[in-house]
């Protein structure tokens, strides 16, 4: 919450501090501090926040939350000394949300969290004042930060809730639980940390529905494959689907929506790829629960935009590039490959793929599976790095051109050689690979 005196923040943290300086923003990253900022000096395995107190002050911070035992310089900052900086961050966010009580829409899922969050926010802006989490900030540290940095007068907060380990969703619920909870899809993501496979992932993702505050539960109709997850729900169940007409909201290939089995509306969405339409229907489902009329929703549809590096399509010199480099897992790889547009006459489909991280013992198998899947959709394959070897090896089974590279410089040089007018080029890989670097090299 912006524009609060330090004295009030101190009181929430169990401190007594009579200081009326106003805090206007909250950060754990000193490079993002703005004038009037409160900096949380976190000490982790790789970063020591205390080394950045001076940088935070130079950027305009007025105060910092530090460990009780910190004995270094204050650099002109008001220091709020606490037992645990992370716990203080979480408590401050929890207290602020509790005091101002916005309606919260929480979104999780193995795929499409950020896109669905952006779509929900855009649709609801047609009727409500909406706040939302920043970019993909959905972790135990970034989730409370983004909650603190809202204006405070929103009708609705649309928040993204991430999970990489068991219990992550539950820890986010302790900070701010949703009134409406959305589970987009269950897939093999971070599977190295979930040895029980999809069933365990579904169970942990399903924690988003577990808080007593949550009265409406929105989910992909395929979640009915996990009855133990649904059995634990206590709120109203609302499903959506592009495949099963038994869902509460069903979207046909002609973009008709059936609601409770009754033909309700036809849209002309700006994105026609199936995996993006899945996110679109999830957002429409939430808008309906928020009492928006069909025409009200449709009035916002032209404003929908994809987040950066999520199937971004752009053309240069007659070549269509698809930047889907934000992240990757087996399902999203297949979705991107199967939704590549047809090349223009004389063109070809080129896939430039990096590895999928945190696949655990299944890593080799899932990479090979993606390679075989690509055989149907790709004319020429380029892979980046040793970790993507399984994709390369499996794709070779059909004797189409396939090449493996280990530096972006070599990869970009080869891509420049083989691409031509009319080609469609998909670039995708896990966040750790940073496949978007390729685009910078291609413009050199």
Average pLDDT over residues 242-251: 97
How far is Cα 292 from Cα 180, in angstroms, rounded to an integer?
Answer: 15
Q: What is the CATH number of the domain that holds 258?
A: 3.40.1190.10
The structure's pTM equals 0.90
Is the Cα torsion angle 387, 388, 394, 397 positive or negative in sign? negative
Query: Which residue shows structure tokens 């053309």?
Result: 315
Strand arrangement, sheet containing 37-40: 25-27, 37-40, 63-67, 78-82
350, part of any domain: yes
For residue 167, the tally of other CB atoms under 10 A from its CB is 11
Whole-number pLDDT of residue 303: 98
How far is Cα 193 from Cα 191, in angstroms, rounded to an integer?
Answer: 5
- In terms of domains, do 65 and 138 share one? no
How far is Cα 281 from Cα 184, in angstroms, rounded to an integer?
Answer: 10
Beta strands in 188-299 (DSSP E): 216-220, 236-241, 249-251, 256-259, 262-266
What is the residue range of 385's domain? 312-442
Is the Cα torsion angle 344, 348, 349, 355 positive or negative in sign? negative
Query: CB–CB of 319/419 below 8 Å?
Result: yes
How do residues 126-147 score in pLDDT, each as one tens digit?
999 999 988 888 999 999 999 9
- In terms of domains, do 318 and 297 share one? no
Tokens coding 275: 């995996």
Average pLDDT over residues 186-197: 76
- In terms of domains, do 111 and 135 share one? yes
Whole-number pLDDT of residue 191: 67
How do residues 286-315 score in pLDDT, each as one tens digit?
999 999 999 999 999 999 999 988 999 999
Query: CB–CB of 245/222 below 8 Å?
Result: no
Flag the least confident range among 88-97, 181-190, 430-439: 181-190
- In terms of domains, do 292 and 326 share one? no
How far is Cα 318 from Cα 297, in angstroms, rounded to an integer?
Answer: 35
Query: CB–CB of 173/118 below 8 Å?
Result: no
How far is Cα 5 from Cα 20, in angstroms, rounded to an integer?
Answer: 5
N-terminal to C-terminal alpha carbon distance within the chain: 43
Average pLDDT over residues 54-72: 95
How far is Cα 134 from Cα 143, in angstroms, rounded to an integer?
Answer: 9
Is residue 43 very low, low, confident or very high in pLDDT (cuts 50, 70, 90)? confident
Phi and psi at 39, nearest 5°, equal -105, 130
In the chain, the number of structural domains is: 3
Query: Which residue shows structure tokens 């709120």?
Result: 235
Tokens coding 136: 């993909």
Query: CB–CB of 88/163 below 8 Å?
Result: no
Rg of the Cα atoms in the chain: 23
Pick the residue with more confidence: 195 or 109?
109
371, part of any domain: yes
How far is Cα 212 from Cα 111, in angstroms, rounded to an integer?
Answer: 25
Is residue 234 very low, low, confident or very high in pLDDT (cuts 50, 70, 90)? confident
90, part of any domain: no
- In terms of domains, do 325 and 221 share one? no
Strand arrangement, sheet containing 319-323: 312-316, 319-323, 424-428, 349-354, 380-384, 402-405
Average pLDDT over residues 420-430: 96
Who contacts 429 (Cβ-Cβ below 8 Å, separation ≥6)? 325, 328, 353, 354, 355, 356, 384, 388, 435
Q: What is the CATH number of the domain that holds 13?
A: 3.40.1390.10
What DSSP character marks residue 207?
Answer: G
How far is Cα 425 from Cα 323, in angstroms, rounded to an integer?
Answer: 9
Report the percent of the chain where pLDDT is more than 90. 84
How far is Cα 293 from Cα 428, in angstroms, rounded to an integer?
Answer: 37
- In terms of domains, do 332 and 249 share one? no
How do residues 201-216 score in pLDDT, each as one tens digit?
999 999 999 999 999 9
How far is Cα 361 from Cα 53, in angstroms, rounded to an integer?
Answer: 42
Which H/E stretch holds residue 23?
Answer: strand 22-23
114, part of any domain: yes
Average pLDDT over residues 196-202: 88
Q: What is the CATH number of the domain that holds 373?
A: 3.90.190.20
How far is Cα 80 from Cα 65, in angstroms, rounded to an integer?
Answer: 5
- In terms of domains, do 73 and 120 share one? no
**Among 282, 289, 244, 15, which Cα is nearest to 128's?**
289
């Amino acid at each position: 919450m912006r524009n609060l005196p330090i004295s009030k923040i101190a009181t929430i943290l169990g401190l007594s501090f009579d200081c009326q300086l106003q805090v206007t923003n909250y950060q754990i990253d000193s490079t993002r501090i703005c004038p009037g900022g409160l900096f949380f000096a976190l000490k982790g395995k790789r970063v020591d926040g205390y080394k950045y107190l001076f940088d935070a002050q130079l950027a305009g911070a007025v105060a910092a939350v530090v460990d009780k035992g910190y004995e270094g310089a204050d650099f002109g900052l008001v220091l709020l000394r606490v037992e645990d900086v992370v716990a203080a961050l979480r408590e401050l966010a929890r207290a602020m949300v509790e005091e101002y009580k916005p309606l919260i829409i929480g979104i999780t899922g193995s795929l499409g969290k950020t896109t669905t969050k952006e779509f929900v926010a855009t649709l609801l802006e047609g009727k409500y004042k909406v706040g939302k989490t920043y970019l993909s900030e959905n972790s135990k540290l970034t989730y409370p930060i983004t909650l603190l940095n809202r204006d405070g007068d929103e009708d609705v907060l649309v928040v993204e809730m991430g999970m990489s380990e068991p219990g992550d969703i539950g820890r986010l619920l302790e900070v701010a639980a949703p009134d409406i909870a959305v589970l987009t899809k269950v897939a093999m993501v971070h599977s190295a940390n979930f040895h029980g496979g999809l069933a365990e992932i579904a169970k942990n993702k399903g924690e988003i529905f577990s808080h007593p505050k949550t009265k409406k539960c929105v989910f992909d109709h395929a979640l009915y494959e996990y009855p133990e997850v649904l059995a634990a729900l206590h709120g109203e169940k609302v499903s959506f689907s592009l495949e099963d007409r038994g869902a509460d909201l069903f979207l046909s290939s002609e973009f008709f929506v059936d609601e409770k089995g009754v033909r309700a509306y036809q849209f002309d969405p700006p994105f026609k790829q199936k995996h993006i339409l899945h996110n679109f229907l999830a957002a429409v489902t939430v808008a309906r629960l928020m009492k928006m009329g069909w025409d009200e929703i449709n009035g916002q549809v032209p404003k929908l935009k994809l987040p950066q590096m999520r199937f971004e399509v752009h053309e240069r010199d007659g070549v269509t590039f698809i930047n889907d480099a934000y992240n990757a897992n087996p399902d999203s790889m297949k979705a991107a490959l199967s939704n590549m547009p047809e090349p223009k006459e004389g063109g070809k489909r080129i896939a430039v793929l990096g590895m999928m991280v945190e696949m655990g013992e299944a890593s080799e198998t899932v990479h090979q599976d993606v390679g075989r899947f690509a055989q149907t959709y790709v004319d020429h394959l380029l892979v980046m790095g040793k970790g993507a070897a399984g994709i390369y090896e499996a794709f070779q089974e059909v004797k189409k051109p396939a090449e493996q590279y280990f530096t972006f410089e070599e990869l970009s040089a080869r891509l420049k050689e083989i691409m031509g007018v009319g080609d469609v080029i998909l670039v995708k890989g896990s966040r750790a690979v940073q496949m978007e670097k390729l685009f910078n090299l291609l413009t050199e």
